[in-house]
Amino acid sequence: MVIELERVAMSYGGSELFADISLKVQAGSFHFLTGPSGSGKTTFLRLCYGALLPTAGQVRLFGQDVRDLGRDGVAHVRRRVGVVHQDVQFLDHLSLADNVALPLTVSGRDTPDQMDNLDELLNWVGLRPRAAAFPAQLSGGERQRAALARAVIMSPEVVLADEPTGNIDWDMSQRLLTLLVELNRMGTTILVATHDMNLIRAAKSQVQARVLRISGRRLQLAGADL
Amino acid sequence: MTRLRNFLAALAALVIGDPQADRLVPPTGFTARLTTFAAGAMAFLAVFALALSLAAGRLADRWSRDLAQASTIRISAPPEERAAQTAAVLRILEATPGVVAARALPPDEAARLLEPWFGPDLPLDTLPVPQLVEVQEAAVGFDPQGLRLRLSAEVPGAILDDHTRWRRPLVAAAERLRGLGLMSIGLIGATTAAMITLAAQAALSANAQVIAVLRLVGAQDRYIAQAFVRRFTLRALTGAAVGVALAMVAVLLLPAAQEEAGFLTGLGFQGWHWLVPLAIPPLGALVAYLATTAAARRTLTELP
Ligand SMILES: Nc1ncnc2c1ncn2[C@@H]1O[C@H](COP(=O)(O)OP(=O)(O)OP(=O)(O)O)[C@@H](O)[C@H]1O
Ligand SMILES: [Mg+2]
């Protein structure tokens, strides 16, 4: 099991976002996570890569309780879990290529071999011509694709994507979806948070995906309505 | 200048590893130059404190050597009693603890001592020049009070002149000065540590966003800290190297004079002591390394 949540509750300060959530994410599966704005999708994903600790219950990543990880442990988990954030952050003084290569750099794996991979990867997301550009010079779609490339450069076992199509047009959204589906076909576990129902519908024709919905502080399996 | 920096960078890379980490933190320009400047200024001051303390040390050593050497006893007696009194004084000195040797000055030596005051053609025979006895003290010295009492009892015409004893407080002062010099070096080191801690802390806080991104992509705190540590260590090393070089040139250009001429002109380095300031840049780098490491550890645990 890649990610397991057991009776997890989460609250910031006083108000409880959700309670008693249990979920098992199997290796190689494809999940969507939906819910209204503010329902806690981003919070849920943060729980799934060790950026947050649940207020109650247990989160296990690759079988390990996140409470036992410590900072270095979390750092190691992040090398196995690629994350595309809702508000993508780059280092503004580094080029796009350097930013995408960051996970390699900080783990000391920036070998020439891996750098060839980088080239291939940039090609895969269609950003090779923009490799030398700085983050400030990129469009929203380019940033999202760069974020995806950065998330997968370590060949992670899991990719968590938070609104990866948040601010891009439909064509670009579909391109990104295709990239995620391709990754899933190669065995990567995918969890995508989105409120874009069209995207979920489009995905259903390409891949077997479970759709989870946060509603009324609970996690429900949706799908019948899709 | 760039070659020096390249060399130092290579040296530091050897010690602290991955220069890549440094690149991940945006360059800081002005504050970086301030750190280098501060390290340089502190190293400059440290060289002078070192020179002061070494010079004071030399002075203390020499003066206490002189002290160990000589007191004199003056014997004013009628010519016919002179030999007998001199013999009596020498006998007493032989029995005095703390006296290494005593020697009656022959007349020609006495004349030479008086020459500066009375000229070379001094008719010694016609003048009542006292007989001088030179007393060599052991390091512990003798008891001047006791010796005076015995002399006045047995040889009334003999007067103990321990004129170099006035230097004793000077020796103490010189030794104190050496201590103060060393203490200044300690303070300079501590101030450097404080300044670099402040600068590093500021840099870490200013780069909270960068740190967040680095953590996002799986960087361990050790790795993130290294980026800052490397940077500040290099700056301190560069600054201190320049500061020491300038200070040593300044010391070299101090007006040269015989050490005897005075304390001020003796403020340089001597012999192998010229090598001592070369330890300052590595020590400065070490201070920066420790200060930044501690600051980074603190800040990184505080950051969410
Ligand atoms: N660090 C935080 N401290 C306090 N409250 C927070 C924090 N992060 C999120 N919240 C609150 O928790 C709730 C859920 O936030 P979250 O970002 O998880 O929602 P979301 O489902 O991702 O929303 P969106 O679709 O708009 O991205 C919101 O009401 C938000 O204000
Ligand atoms: Mg969100």
Domain assignment present for B161: no
**Mutate which: B209, B215, B217, B221, vs A, most A CBs within 10 A:** B217
pLDDT the model gives residue A76: 85
Instruction: State the average pLDDT over residues B45-56.
Output: 90
Same domain as B132, residue B104: yes
Domain assignment present for B138: yes
- Whether A150 has its CB under 8 Å from any CB of chain B: the answer is yes
Please give the full DSSP string across A141-165, using - where no structure is assigned.
HHHHHHHHHHHHTT--SEEEEESTT
Instruction: State the average pLDDT over residues B258-267.
Output: 55
pLDDT the model gives residue A185: 94
Same domain as B182, residue B292: yes
Instruction: Test B217 with A89 for CB contact under 8 angstroms.
Output: no
Q: Does A41 score more than 80 pLDDT?
A: yes
Instruction: Test A78 with B215 for CB contact under 8 angstroms.
Output: yes
- Give the whole-angstrom CA distance, residue A30 versus residue A206: 11
Same domain as B282, residue B252: yes
Same domain as B132, residue B279: no
A38 lines ligand 1 (CB under 6 A): yes
Confidence of residue A56 (pLDDT cuts 50, 70, 90): very high
pLDDT the model gives residue A62: 93
Closest residue on chain B to A46 (Cα): B216
Confidence of residue B123 (pLDDT cuts 50, 70, 90): low
- Whether B206 has its CB under 8 Å from any CB of chain A: the answer is no
Instruction: Provide the residue type at B54 as one letter.
Output: L
A194 lines ligand 1 (CB under 6 A): no
Q: Does B10 score more than 70 pLDDT?
A: no
Q: Does B299 score more than 80 pLDDT?
A: yes
Same domain as B246, residue B212: yes
Vertex A11 angle, CA A8 and A17, to 5°: 80
Domain assignment present for B24: yes
| β partners of residue A31 | A191, A210
- Whether B214 has its CB under 8 Å from any CB of chain A: the answer is yes
Confidence of residue B7 (pLDDT cuts 50, 70, 90): low
Domain stops at, among B113, B132, B156: B156
- Give the whole-angstrom CA distance, residue A47 versus residue B53: 61
Domain stops at, among B156, B180, B211: B156
Instruction: State the average pLDDT over residues B211-220.
Output: 88
Tally the domains of chain B: 2
pLDDT the model gives residue B245: 95
Please give the full DSSP string across A115-138, using - where no structure is assigned.
HHHHHHHHHHTT-GGGTT--GGG-
Of B86 and B4, the one with more pLDDT: B86
Instruction: Test A106 with B23 for CB contact under 8 angstroms.
Output: no
- What percentage of chain B has pLDDT greater than the value 70? 80
**Selected residues 95-134 of chain A with any CB under 8 Å from a CB in chain B:** 102-103, 105-108, 110
Task: Taking the CA atoms of B63, B64, B70 and B73 in sequence, report the sign of the dihedral they define.
Answer: positive
Instruction: Test A150 with B223 for CB contact under 8 angstroms.
Output: no
Residues of A in contact with B20 (CB under 8 A): 105, 110
In CATH terms, the fold of domain A3-80+156-221 is Rossmann fold (3.40.50)
CA A37 to ligand 1 center in whole angstroms: 8
| Domain region containing B101 | 77-156
pLDDT the model gives residue A224: 46
What kind and span of H or E run contains A91?
A: none
**Mutate which: B23, B24, B216, B223, vs A, most A CBs within 10 A:** B216
pLDDT the model gives residue A136: 94
Domain stops at, among B156, B182, B214: B156
Nearest of B280, B298, B302 to residue B229 by alpha carbon: B298
pLDDT the model gives residue A98: 93
Closest residue on chain B to A94 (Cα): B24
Same domain as B176, residue B152: no
- Give the whole-angstrom CA distance, residue B241 versus residue A148: 46
Confidence of residue B118 (pLDDT cuts 50, 70, 90): low
This prediction has a pTM of 0.72
Same domain as B190, residue B235: yes
pLDDT the model gives residue B237: 93
pLDDT the model gives residue A225: 44
